[in-house]
A = this chain, B = another copy of it.
Amino acid sequence: MRISELARRSGLPVATVKYYLREGLLPAGEPTAATQAQYSEAHVERLLLIRALLGPGGLSIPAARAVLDVVEDPTTSIHNALGAAHYALPSPRTNPSPEELDRARGHLRRWGWKTDDASPSLAVLAAALHALQSAHFDTPDELMDRYADAAATLAEQDVASVPTGSAAEAVRFVVIGTVLLEPVLLALRRLAQEDVSARRLAPDDSRSRTGPDVS
């Protein structure tokens, strides 16, 4: 297909497709004339992945290029391609101490999770546990186990849903699913807390009211 068709299929302006070509995010097409080239279905798939990385994924152009290099490497396993994308996603900036990291690692060891010590989420977990401790909020193993159980249950199904036909499609799915399902999970947790509070903690005569009275 020509570049105009490629742009239409991927929902992007032609100028944007040309920009991704210049930046090396999208491989060149097959030249058919001095100023024309042919593009394939692989280019469409790649453009959809670039959109996911730069849009919902929030990656910079160099970070996206690094992920795409791993995805394009034919010797890369799906696991490694997903890992490259996962680790490139923006995380909250944290700077946990070695002791805080050890505490977080202790939980992961208890659960037998196979995760890398370089995982950005390990630092986020360590810093979050420290913030809770500073606020005098206890996080006993029993509480951590509940949260780990919920996370593991979701992750089993999340990973089972990943389309494994191509690394590009798998990575696109994981980037969008990881980033855009996070606000869904947090919103559902707050809504579920509201629901449970209404059923458990509201006095009988206010149960018919539809929510807290903030006035």
Contacts and interface: CB of A to CB of B under 8 A. Distances in A.
A195 B82 CA distance: 12
B151 A201 contact: no
B148 A117 contact: no
A21 interface: no
A40 interface: no
Contacts of A84: 212-214
Given A115-B195, A118-B211, A131-B180, A190 B86 contact: yes
Minimum-distance CB pairs A-B, first 9: A83-B212, A116-B211, A155-B192, A151-B188, A79-B202, A125-B187, A113-B195, A128-B183, A79-B201
22 contacts: A77-B202, A82-B197, A82-B212, A83-B194, A92-B183, A114-B194, A114-B195, A115-B211, A116-B194, A119-B194, A121-B188, A121-B194, A125-B183, A128-B184, A137-B173, A144-B184, A146-B154, A147-B185, A152-B196, A155-B192, A158-B193, A185-B189
Interface of A: 48, 51-52, 55-56, 66, 70, 76-80, 82-84, 86-88, 92, 108, 113-119, 121-122, 124-125, 127-129, 131-132, 135-137, 139, 143-144, 146-148, 150-162, 164, 173-174, 176-178, 180-203, 206, 210-214
